[in-house]
Amino acid sequence: MKKIKETDKGFYGCYWPYGKGHSECAVIAMLGDDCEDYIAKSGARWLQKKFGVNVLTLSPAHKDYGHHNLPVERIGASIAYLRSKGNKRFAIAGASTTAMFALIAASYYPEITLTIAMSPSDFVMEGFYRGKRDGYEEWPGEGESTASWQGKPLPYLPFAYRHPEYGMRIKEEAKEGGDFCASRKLFDESERLHPIQEEELIKVENIKGKVILIGAEDDVLWDTARYIRRMQARLDNRPHECAVQALVYEHGTHFVFPESLMKTMLPVGSSLFVGLFRAGKEHKEECRQTRIDIDANVCAALEAWSQGA
């Protein structure tokens, strides 16, 4: 695949034009920690091989794995850039924190007509940093949101704990559950101490086109199944133009990727990857069946969207 790296267009990312023909469809994919890491590149390869589309992979900055006051306008800049390359249809996809960002961005930019959010939240999270600090790999920002608009942080759900207790609680929860990472109790406690306010919720009713929300009940990073149901309830009570498909499974862990995407990323050992979570070890086959069903639904949506439906 040909890669065009862009760092001064209002976003930090890599453009991967489809090399086997002309396409006017582009997917903004936020699937890895860095726009040119293995997972991002695998995602671009999967999208091109199966759907023949152009792909723009994004990340906050070079090897910046945190999310703090990221401008939503970078998606607008991405769309403008993609238009300059001849693209006319735009989709966005994210997983985990970037699933939240995908929903936020789609609520601001009606040009996006397909949104795929894997393990999303329905609210804006507090900003966080990743690296090395006092023996911990992640810590909350102070007065920072994960996203900003017009230079101002978006209202957010504040974390229940500050550094270093924040990192300590995550380590304790992961060890207690036998998972490589866990923070569901942290998010539950955050919401208990600070009931979510309307201004902190993502305005999913403003999204256009099709929205696919994907999550599992056994997700130990946060209660994404509950968040997805809240988004459904929100849409039930508000006028909207988007068509929502909610895929919520009993088993699947935080890694609710389509099976064929998982196989592209990890031709061997995909079960071991999911097995980083205890639920992935104990329900290996159920998780695989979840990914197979996700694959069928996501691929059908991408195929229809890429064909103009």
- Which tens digits make up the pLDDT trace of 104-124? 999 999 999 999 999 999 999
In order of start, what are the domains of the chain with their CATH numbers?
4-306 (3.40.50.1820)
Q: Is the pLDDT of residue 268 over 90?
A: no
Which tens digits make up the pLDDT trace of 133-190?
A: 999 999 999 889 999 999 999 999 999 999 999 999 999 999 999 999 999 999 999 9
> Percent of the chain having pLDDT more than 70?
100
Q: How much of the chain is in helix, strand and coil states, percent to nearest 5? A: 40, 25, 35
The residues near 145 (Cβ < 8 Å, ≥ 6 apart) are: 68, 69, 124, 125, 126, 127, 153, 154, 155, 156
Task: Give dist(CA 198, CA 303) in Å, integer.
Answer: 35
Task: Give dist(CA 222, CA 216) in Å, integer.
Answer: 10
Q: What is the arithmetic mean of pLDDT over 71-88?
A: 98
Orientation angle between helical segments 73-84 and 97-108, nearest 10 degrees? 70
Question: Would you state the pLDDT for residue 197?
Answer: 98
Q: Is the pLDDT of residue 309 over 80?
A: no
User: Which amino acid, 113?
Assistant: T
The residue assigned the tokens 């694959």 is: 295
Question: Would you state the pLDDT for residue 230?
Answer: 98
Task: Give dist(CA 62, CA 14) in Å, integer.
Answer: 11
Average pLDDT score, the chain: 96
pLDDT band at 217 (very low <50, low <70, confident <90, very high): very high
Q: What is the arithmetic mean of pLDDT over 289-296?
A: 98
Q: What is the arithmetic mean of pLDDT over 65-82?
A: 95
CA atoms within 13 A on the CB side of 241: 10
Round the CA-based radius of gyration of the chain to a whole number and report it: 18
Question: Would you state the pLDDT for residue 32?
Answer: 86
Omega prior to 164 cis, within 30 of 0: yes
Which tens digits make up the pLDDT trace of 14-56?
A: 999 998 878 999 999 999 889 999 999 999 999 999 999 999 9
Classify residue 285 as exposed, middle or buried by CB count within 10 Å of its CB (0-12, 13-18, 19+). exposed
User: Which amino acid, 153?
Assistant: P
| DSSP single-letter state for residue 196 | P
Classify residue 22 as exposed, middle or buried by CB count within 10 Å of its CB (0-12, 13-18, 19+). exposed
